[in-house]
A and B are shown apart, each in its own frame.
Chain A
Amino acid sequence: MKKSLLSIAILLLILTMESMAQSREVSGTVISAEDDFPLPGVNVRIKGTTRGTITDIDGSYTVSADASETLVYSYIGFLSQEVEVGDQENIDVILQTDAKTLGEVVVVGFGSVTRGDLTGNVASLKGAEIQNIPVPTFQEAIQGRMAGVFVESSSGKVGEGVKIRVRGTTSISGGNEPLYVIDGIPMNAGTGIGQSNPMADINFNDIESFEVLKDASAAAIYGARASNGVVLITTKTGAAGRTKFNVGIQRGVSSPTRRNEFLNSAQYVELMREAGYNNDLRTGIDPINNPGDYPDSDLEFVESRLDRHSGHTDWRDGSVDTDWQEQAFNPGAGVTNVNFSASGGDERTRFYFSSAYDKQDGIMIRNNFERISGRLNLDHKVSDRFNIGANFSLARTETTRLPEDNQFNNPIQLVALAPITPIRDQDGMLYDRPVATYYNNLIDSENAEWLTTSFRNISTIYGEYQFTDDLRFRSDFAVDILNQNDERFFGSRTITGQGTNGFGSSRWLRLFNYNTNNYFTYTKNFQEKHQVEAVAGMSFQRYDENFTQVDGQEFPLDALRTLASAAEITDGESTLTYNTFLSYFTRINYKYDDKYLFTFSARYDGSSRFGDNNKYGFFPAASVGWIASEEDFLKGKEGLSLLKLRASYGLTGNAEIGNFDHFGLYGPVSYGLLPGLNPTQIPNPNLTWETTAQLDIGVEFGLFSDRITGEIDYYHKDTRDLLLLVPVPGTTGFRSQRQNIGRMENYGVEVVLNSANYASQNFTWNSNFNFARNINRVRELSEDQTSIPPTSSRFLNGIFIGESIGVFYGPKYAGVDPSNGDALYYSNEELTETTNDYNEAERMVVGDPNPAFIAGINNTLTYKNFDMSFLFQGVFGNDIYEGGGGFYAANGDWFDNSTLRQFDRWQNPGDITDIPQARLGACNGCNASSRYISDGSYVRLKTLTFGYNIPSNVVERMRLNTVRIYFLAQNLLTFTNYLGWDPEVNADYLGSTTQNQNVFQGNDFYSAPQARTFSLGINVGF
């Protein structure tokens, strides 16, 4: 495959050597009518072809064209102009600003506005910018491209969870993911079996644009579900004209971004023997110098374990040195993508059709992802007044899954095995315990199977009726159906199926989510200066989820893997759950004299999730904008093309809690195969929405004919009535009650800068920079509650008033006592005293998993037919806690293999090191403390692309429209001081409840590193 791509590339290169067609050179300058400055970057295209150029930094251009051809000059924010070439050699053009469209069209809830008219904060991204990025979900592809949108993949396992935070974390016990709305329907973004990510069902090459509604003004129209921001996804539509086809093929190879270094056999043997011998010396015996002490010594124990872990080999001769880490990685990791689309139509009917095949062979063994998807979007004009349309999409996703990070059969856990252990025995069978220190999960590769298959249909139909020129009514109905099946089989040799002659599980999930929106839109201009647009309507959504699970064991053969073969069905259940939302919404935009903007929006939301006393919530927001550059005193000011000030304030809600949290309930249990009932929940009939009040003040500017544009925003989000799971005394028989109590703040700044650094005939260079700083503070919990301390003794995350959510709280590691090798901890807050007793250590805040700021910078360069872009993305100021450190970074505490750094352990009095003396089983510094925290900041060369567009005359000769070949590198370089695998990490098993998901951040527990992918691709348009 790679070879054939290469030969295509070479062939195409040769073709370009051929001479250009006969035509003459036309040149000229393009000037802005607004300020009479030259306009760089204007697109100068020959009508009806793909030939053309763009203006350079002085606004000048040269292009070859025939006399019969027409040049089209277009630039964002300006009206396009067409000029017939005729016999002209010099064509100067003055472009008029487009008064209506100061910029691009931005999709907002239930409508769209031009960016110039926007008074809220909306980040947008065109689908084209992330096309072809070789990742399974668009969530990963948008990382680093939008200000204030934090994206984090939990690990390098494909098709798993991606955390997105828009302007920080607003909730402690409720959900914090944004609301995703695709073509008008709030979609299921989080519910799937296990750790599967339902977003992976979306082929993002079909997406026209992403808009993230960040402030209250933009988001309030989504009311009770808008506190965490709203991501609007709009799929592509066809344009009238010739049918355009596009075919793309991409193929690439992947490998882990980073590896961790572990001890080799000789080092391992040295460390383990030393750990045992140190224990002996401490109890006053010396088995090395006094052989009589050897029996029953710890050294004897260590050596007997080394014998055991060597299997048929001998650790003394150093013949075996197994690199277990390497065994966890898939040497054949890579991506394959094939996509096809067709779009076109006539004045009455337009269509967009696509199908795609995506395959990702994950970097971990046993972890692959495959998606086949198709889409048809149709729009039809029934009459001048009546439009109808439908978007229909279907995808099948197959993922071979891995267990959660804490399971012995998580491939990375192989690093715990000793390097002296051979992989296989003399008969070629994989070694397992007791020879292997822990379960050798390579057995899973031979003796287990785990496949999740999803069928996803997201479809919308709509009708729109234009009553008058001013008033129209739109009604849509959409469904989002997920049908997911998870089949697991673990054979008789696996850790899961070992005692029971195999274990199998079959799970089915059906999720039916439908939504209807019905609204009027009224637009009117009064007396030239007053422009009004008003939207009002309602929506209703219902969401039903059916789940069935059957588990069985005792299989006659490992080859018989469906539950039909299980002699014993051990567990079975089916569950049903549902929720509804009924909402009324409105938005009024008013613009006066193209200078003064005003927006009011509101939503009145009701949901089945809330108590009978508080079914409905009201979420209003208002915003104002002032286009100062339209004022006489600034108009035409040299260099200043746009200056807009805006401010917004409003309320949004969060309803991301359980479906029935307000009831007092008894649920089913069984004992001895008899049915029983157990109290499960205390009632709270007053339960209602969590409310976020958000203030946003922003300025937008354009300089030097918009060569530099930007946006700076300050925001402050104040979240009250937190949907807090308040711990109640366990003596009541309950654990917690969902209450509306507590307060959390997020505030910060966002900066967006776009710059056309250079533009000439042959060379352009554009940069987009975004930066966001968010400060999160927990302000209030329930009455008298000052903290929710760490609930785990392995991990340190807790909640403390005045701190960010999920800060690391625990003993502060003070290094090693140079005199005796003891691990030390600070025993007072002033950090002046230390102790070697972990229980005496002072507990304090020792780290923060929340980044201080995030940033991204994307550069796009073109030179003639070549293009190149590179995106650097960074996360700064966050800490990561290595939960596995207590096993692999514990200076030989037990027989787990250790990281290479552990070899710097203290050995002799006077040694200065931060790795304590090796003592077997004595936990000398192995407890959870700041010892396992390291700086998680990183900068990543996220995406690097080199492309080449085959010249149009060559392409046209092949009866094609465009041909682009490209090389793409994803996660090419990572710069970080993090001590573990990859700094973009969050152990996946800690989020068993929503609150745990929110609190347990920044943890690594044998989590897979991210994938680095190199790929080659070709896109052909005809």
Chain B
Amino acid sequence: MKKIYIYLTSFSLILLSLTGCEDQLFLTPPQSVDQEIALNSDANVKRVLVGAYADLRDISVWGGRMLLYSEMLGANNEIRWEGTFNQPRELFNKSVFTNNTFITESWLVGYSAINICNNILEAINVVDEADRDRVRGEALFIRGAIYFELARFYGLPYSAGNTSSNLAVPIVLTPTREVSPEDQVARNTVEEVYQQVISDLSTAEELLPSINGFFARNYVAAAILSRVYLQMENFGEARDAADRAIALSTAQEKRLVSNYMSAFNTETDSPEDLFTIQVNTQDPGNNMHLFYSTPDFGGRDGDVTILNSHVNLYESGDERLEQFQIRAGDRRTDKWRDQFRNVKVVRLAEMYLTRAEANFREGTALGATPLEDINRIRERVSLTEKTSITLEEILMERKLELAHEGHNIHDVKRTRGSIIDNTDNSLIYSYDDARLVLPIPQRETDANPNLTQNPGYGG
């Protein structure tokens, strides 16, 4: 009898402990929330919008690498990559492998940002009416800006023509809440992606205010839009957009700073900065600094050297020469010298140069004459004022003013220039050479058989 009692006690004890344990099988993560919660209120959608900027500032997007790609592809024997990282070296050598982790990341993070924007746009009605236009404008701005970057890196340039048949990247405008076979999307044409970019950025420009902290503002949208039109050689629209960016931003006290080098390495955004990626010790990612700077300023070993052929392009007395300093045993540019500084994405100087070029090509003088705009740039760096100007001079001024800031290859492509190989000087890459186009990352073509590889990459 006693035994039975003991048996019963132990059995019931076990059963008792089990019912308690059963609940323990249903645990929720402490560092994340369910996707439904993230999009169910005004406050939460605004948090998700910050999340979209966080992707935009990723080192593989505007946190530096997209700028670096442009400089590596456009090296033209003016700079030398000396770093140990093989990913930038592949771009420098115009021999990019489809599994290059940098270009894979740029694709993935770019589309992650696009997906976030699509989620915000779908949930836009839970945003308070007062802020709805701004939130929508910011989401459209980020989406448009990223599609533009993706199109010009992963597709043949607009200037190569055949824009209705050359492929850019797939356009996805709906949020992903689960994975299905419909997600195996094909690439859209260069024309389709550019039109989507124009639509997103134009709407964004209309919706955005001109004061919005360091987030997107109407003149930032106009500035990027001017780049889009310039890339399309639509100079009239490019001129108008640049002029709007100048008018809207100078109304907000934006101006050229008096000393060229004080436009760089600034603690906070300078009056010249139309848009920057916010970098600080908490969010330290600035890959332009990492690769261009030197150990004494927290960079790598000085992975990029500036060669004589580049320095020789400057006129003597050009204050822009001050950027070139011997650091870590070789010549570097100081534009990215200091650590934890914002990544400068659009400087006002670019808008003057764009307006000058577009006015010149169109034979107009919207906002200012080309000569006035160019002299504005030259005056600042203590160069003599020009009395007349040619297109070549405008383009050279642009090249030198914006050197090492991520504009290089895009300007070469749209002006139908060419690039000299780094080791074999007889080898010339024309502006529409397939080797100046990034491959579709291999993990993408593997995961999605509907993606066509770019020419020259075994596709």
Contact = CB atoms under 8 A, between A and B. Distances in A.
B34 A665 contact: yes
B295 interface: yes
A608 B447 contact: no
Contact of B111 (A435, A665, A733): A733
A907 B276 CA distance: 52
Interface in A291-329: 296, 305, 308
Interface string A591-614: 000000000000000111000100
A433 B301 contact: yes
Nearest to A518: B14
A670 interface: yes
Nearest to A678: B51
A676 to B, nearest CB: 3
Interface string B288-322: 00000101111101100000100000000000000
Contact of B443 (A467, A516, A683, A791): A791
Contact of B449 (A578, A784, A794): A784
| 5 shortest interchain CB distances as A-B pairs | A499-B298, A733-B115, A434-B329, A676-B50, A666-B38
B172 A839 contact: no
Given A666-B38, A731-B111, A542 B32 contact: no
Contact of A467 (B3, B24, B57, B284): B3
A67 B318 CA distance: 111
A542 B302 CA distance: 49
Contacts of A438: 84, 301
A673 B54 CA distance: 10
B441 to A, nearest CB: 7
Given A582-B24, A730-B444, A666 B84 contact: no
B176 A727 contact: no
A789 B442 contact: yes
Nearest to B45: A677
Give chain A's interface residue range (CB within 8 Å of chain B): 35 or more
Given A672-B214, A677-B38, 7 more contacts: A499-B295, A608-B24, A682-B177, A727-B446, A728-B183, A732-B183, A733-B112
A665 B330 contact: no
A478 to B, nearest CB: 15
A571 B115 contact: no
Interface in A906-924: 921-923
Given A433-B328, A434-B330, A671 B26 contact: no
Contact of B55 (A678, A681, A838): A678
B444 A682 contact: no
A660 interface: yes
15 contacts: A432-B295, A433-B295, A435-B329, A495-B295, A537-B14, A553-B281, A571-B281, A580-B25, A676-B52, A677-B51, A679-B35, A727-B447, A729-B444, A731-B111, A733-B114
Contacts of A612: 26
A608 to B, nearest CB: 4
Contacts of A922: 423
Contacts of A668: 31-32
Interface of B: 3, 6-7, 10, 14, 17-18, 21-22, 24-35, 37-38, 44, 47-55, 57, 80, 82, 84, 86-87, 90, 93, 95, 97, 99-101, 104, 107-108, 111-112, 114-116, 118-119, 170, 172, 175-179, 183-185, 213-214, 278, 280-284, 293, 295-299, 301-302, 308, 328-330, 339, 423-425, 441-444, 446-449, 451
A646 B348 CA distance: 81
A679 B93 contact: no
B50 A671 contact: yes
A460 to B, nearest CB: 18
A445 interface: no
A793 B178 contact: no
A608 B24 CA distance: 7
Given A729-B184, A731-B111, A676 B101 contact: no
Contacts of B178: 664, 682-683
A443 to B, nearest CB: 11
A678 B329 contact: no
B295 A679 contact: no
A378 B32 CA distance: 44
A538 interface: yes
B177 A500 contact: no
A1019 interface: no
A666 B35 contact: yes
B87 A793 contact: yes
A666 B37 contact: yes
Contact of B33 (A540, A677, A727): A677
Contacts of B104: 791
A660 B107 CA distance: 26
A733 B116 contact: yes
Contacts of B38: 666, 677, 679
A681 B295 CA distance: 37
Nearest to B35: A664
Nearest to B214: A672
A612 B28 CA distance: 12
A498 B179 contact: no
A671 B276 CA distance: 12
A680 interface: yes
A923 B93 contact: yes
Contacts of A670: 50, 54, 282-283
Interface in A674-716: 674-683
Contact of B101 (A473, A516, A793, A886): A793
A381 B10 CA distance: 20
Nearest to B53: A671
Given A500-B339, A570-B282, A666 B48 contact: yes
Nearest to A298: B423
B422 to A, nearest CB: 8
Contact of B44 (A434, A665, A677): A677
A719 B86 CA distance: 37
Contacts of B449: 784
B111 A886 contact: no
Nearest to B113: A733
Contacts of B49: 676
A733 B146 CA distance: 13
A735 B184 CA distance: 13
Contacts of B330: 434
A290 interface: no
A975 interface: no
A785 interface: yes
Nearest to A730: B108
Interface in A784-798: 784-785, 787-794
Interface string A788-827: 1111111000000000000000000000000000000000
Nearest to A923: B93
Contacts of B80: 921
A96 interface: no
Contacts of A787: 446
B237 to A, nearest CB: 28
A305 B177 CA distance: 55
B33 A659 contact: no
Contacts of A576: 30-31
A732 B115 contact: yes
B9 to A, nearest CB: 11
A663 interface: yes
B33 A793 contact: no
A881 to B, nearest CB: 15
Given A433-B301, A540-B21, A664 B448 contact: no
Contact of A663 (B34, B47, B175, B280): B34
A887 B97 contact: no
Nearest to A926: B86
A500 B115 CA distance: 36
A514 B29 CA distance: 19
A76 to B, nearest CB: 37
A663 B447 contact: no
B53 A676 contact: yes
Contacts of B51: 666, 669, 671, 676-679
Contacts of A435: 329
Contacts of A665: 29, 32-35
